[in-house]
Structure 1
Amino acid sequence: MKTTRTLAGFDVFPIGLGCMSLSHGYGPAASPDAAEALLLGALDRGVTLFDTAALYGFGHNEEILGRVLAPHRSRFMLASKCGIFREDGRRRIDGRPETLRRTCEDSLRRLRTDVIDLYYLHRWDKSVPIEDSVGALADLARAGKIRAIGLSEVSADTLRRAHAVHPVAAVQSEYSLWSCEVEIAVLGACRELGTALVAFSPLGRAFLADGLPDVARLHDTDLRRRMPRFQPEAYARNLALLEPLRRMARDHGCTPGQLALAWLLHQGEDVIPIPGTTRLAHLEENLGAAGVRLDAEARDELARLFARDRVAGERYGPATQAEVDTERFPAS
């Protein structure tokens, strides 16, 4: 495999850093010192893609990146997202052009930069034509506020509609051994259009990194508490998938998480995973996946192990699923 991958005209290390967990998602935010150590540690270890969003910690995550990484701005590619934010204490999806322009200015201020390299529409606001939202992002690109446009959790049809307005450099969607919905249509559309696929939750929200000790003890604010795959009955069934994954990892001289990331890296040079973590040891482990080589037989065996009918539970509950535009597998 190549030592770099191309994203929106930038050459980046094959594995980026998803920064959400520094602020929210899987429990309390990291302390300022821990967040700084993680971000600078990532930079020093060769990470060149840092991914954040206005949503993460409702601005807190962008502020951390701005404070810690602004002095090193020339050393990395910065990605952020708009279209979901907090207003009057509530989470809101809003893709109106005037809102996207305003939230971009807010993000630039928090990130302490003049330009965002890759700016995603975090969710398509289905009350606004995708052409209007992407048109607003195109205006921001022409104004020099952003360099490239991305979309998150969209269908192949929506991607094509958006791309007709302005080139879409990347689609960010969940993609891992146990979440392969992008293979239905989006990945093919990305390749048709020359769009990269940025894979969030490539470790299955820690499941593929050898599971969780006890899902019943997850923090009250942990997103996984509301996800079908992490409900006790489904999770108990899913645990049966881990021992074969551990066995294959031992055979390849790596950890289960590294094996899962390596499988994703082998899906194509246009696939860029962005695992998140708050711990330097986990960061180093994740980056080590770039050196794991898998032959076709091993890749096929992993795909069979995590075939859709072997995974218990959907990736999202009904309310969250209604917010996304991605294709879905038929109910099993």
Structure 2
Amino acid sequence: MQQRKLGPFTVSAIGLGCMNLSHAYGVPPSAEQGGKVLRAALDAGVTLFDTAALYGFGKNEELVGPVLKPHRQDITLCSKGGMAGVTGDDGVLRRVIDGRPETVIKNCEDSLRRLQTDVIDLYYLHRWDKKVPIEESVGAMKRLVEQGKVRTIGLSEVSATTIRKAHAVHPITAVQTEYSLWTRNPEIAVLDACRELGITFVAFSPVARGYLCDAVHDVTSFDAKDIRKAMPRFEPANYAHNLALLPAYRELAGEAGCTPAQLALAWLLHKGENIIPIPGTTSVEHLKEDLAADAVRLTPALLQRVEALINEKTVAGNRYTEQANREVDTEVF
């Protein structure tokens, strides 16, 4: 597999987003199946693994840690804090964004324990807590680096302005934001800021939560716990419009000699050497399909046609609900 730079690390050009193994898309697979996917990724040459305290409220880190532990020196392990599960006075576990320095430090220490490691290679602030100056949250992350608990730090779903403020406190190694053909927000300013500051851009949801795999056809059948049920783009009327774009997209994938999912990933790899997609999957078969995108070559003409077909103007619906949009700091069209 191709290799790319991620701060001081050299990693596989396509990483593995581990969220799907414990979180977000309905009932997660068994721990046994999750382990199979992780080991298959290792066998295929993946060296970048991405998890978070939030995923499964810690269960994802508990799954990932023991499987990756024997390979710890051969991989780059990433996790996130500042957004985690907190049990309220009513005994209910809820997602809470909390960027206070003491919370960021505690989140990291909890992650280290669950991951069964002494140090996290890349530690992200999962969301900027807008009640806390970004300089304070990043200052806490800087102390984690100084203490040897974290090697490098990153940010998730932030604007170019916030990136620059954070980078002035401590060098930012990576910015992670949703980026795919149908979510182009990073192109407004964040990609330019990353190139200017020497920051790697990590693209999550690179296959548009299954849409660009041509794998989601009936949005009414989503599991009750599937986060896509609340996303405007997957609302039935919007999704009917979006589905109408896929026949032409499938034809373009055919011209490129690849699958729809591989076309989405190859497009990202062609957008810049500092971009690393981290698709997630619960299937070893789909994992192998995703990783084969590394070998797909796209002509400039085909790239232009793909971008003209699926973009922020041709897709119906917002990527997030109004509440979720308030929780992120990314620029919008």
Partner of residue 37, structure 1: 36
Equivalent residue of 1:92, what SS? strand
State the AA in 2 paired with 1:115: V
| 1:16 aligned partner | 15
Q: Residue 75 of structure 1: CA displacement? A: 1.6
Q: By how many angstroms is 1:8 displaced?
A: 2.1
Contact 2:217–2:243 (CA under 8 A) maintained in structure 1: no
Partner of residue 231, structure 1 = 235
Q: Would the aligned equivalents of 1:53 and 1:61 in 2 still touch at CA under 8 Å? A: yes
Q: Which deviations, in whole Å up to 9, do the C-alpha atoms of 1:169-191 show, x marking residues without a partner?
A: 00000000000100000000001
Specify the alignment match of 1:214 in structure 2. Answer: 218
2:129 is equivalent to residue 125 of structure 1:
yes
Q: Residue 289 of structure 1: CA displacement? A: 0.3
SS state of the match for residue 24, structure 2?
coil
Q: Is the 8 A contact 1:211 1:239 kept in 2?
A: no
Question: Does 1:55 find its partner at 2:59?
Answer: no
Map 1:69-218; keep pairs closer than 5 Å: 69-88=68-87, 89-218=93-222
TM-score (norm 1): 0.98
CA distance in 2, matches of 1:9, 1:180: 27
**2:249–2:260 contact (8 Å) kept in structure 1:** yes
Query: Hey, what does 2:4 align to over in structure 1?
Result: 5
Q: Which runs of 5+ in 1 are unaligned?
A: none
What are the Cα deviations for residues 103-146 of structure 1, in whole angstroms up to 9, with x where unaligned?
A: 11100000000000000000000000000000000000011000
User: Between Structure 1 and Structure 2, how many residues are aligned?
Assistant: 328
Give SS of 2:113's match: helix
Paired residue for 1:296? 300
CA root-mean-square deviation: 0.8
Equivalence for 1:25 = 24
Q: Distance in 2 between matches of 1:11 and 1:194?
A: 15
Runs of 4+ residues deviating >6 angstroms: none
Determine what percentage of the aligned residue pairs are the same residue: 59
Which sections of structure 2, spanning at least 5 residues, go unmatched? 88-92
* 164-173 or 204-213: bigger deviation: 204-213
How far has the Cα of 1:96 moved from its partner?
0.4
CA contact (8 A) 2:122 2:154 kept: yes
Q: Is the 8 A contact 1:229 1:314 kept in 2?
A: yes
- Match for 1:228: what amino acid? P
The Cα offsets for residues 219-257 of structure 1, whole Å up to 9 and x where unpaired, read as 000000000000000000000111111001111111011
TM-superposed CA distance for 1:196, in Å, is 0.5
SS at match of 2:327: coil
| 1:285-310, Cα deviation, whole Å (9 max, x unpaired) | 00000000001111111110013221
Deviating more after overlay: 148-157 vs 302-311: 302-311
CA distance in 1, matches of 2:255, 2:159: 37
Q: How far is 1:44 from its partner?
A: 0.5
Q: What code does the residue aligned with 2:327 have?
A: E
Residue 74 (structure 1) shift: 1.1
| 3-state SS of paired residue (1:220) | coil
Q: 1:211, CA displacement in angstroms?
A: 3.6
Which secondary structure state, in structure 2, belongs to the residue aligned with residue 125 of structure 1? Answer: coil
Cα distance in structure 2, aligned partners of 1:86 and 1:201: 22
Alignment of 1:268 with 2:267, yes or no, is no
Contact 1:108 1:116 (8 Å CA) reproduced:
yes
Amino acid in the other structure paired with 1:193:
L
Residue among 313, 320, 330 paired with 1:316? 320
Q: What is the CA distance between 1:72 and its match in structure 2?
A: 1.3
2:82 counterpart letter in structure 1: G
Alpha-carbon separation, structure 2, partners of 1:167 and 1:120: 12
1:13/1:48 contact within 8 Å kept: yes
Q: Distance in 2 between matches of 1:3 and 1:183?
A: 24
* Alignment partners' CA distance in 2, 1:169 and 1:76: 16
Give secondary structure in 2 for the equivalent of 1:308: coil
Equivalents in 2 of 1:323, 1:307: separation in Å?
23
- Give the drift of 1:93: 0.4
Task: Give the conservation status (yes or no) of the 8 Å contact 1:235–1:312.
Answer: yes
- Aligned residue for 2:90? none
SS at match of 1:103: helix
Q: Could you tell me how far apart the structure 2 residues matched to 1:171 and 1:309 are?
A: 24
Shift of 1:76: 0.7
Contact 1:211–1:242 under 8 Å retained in 2: no
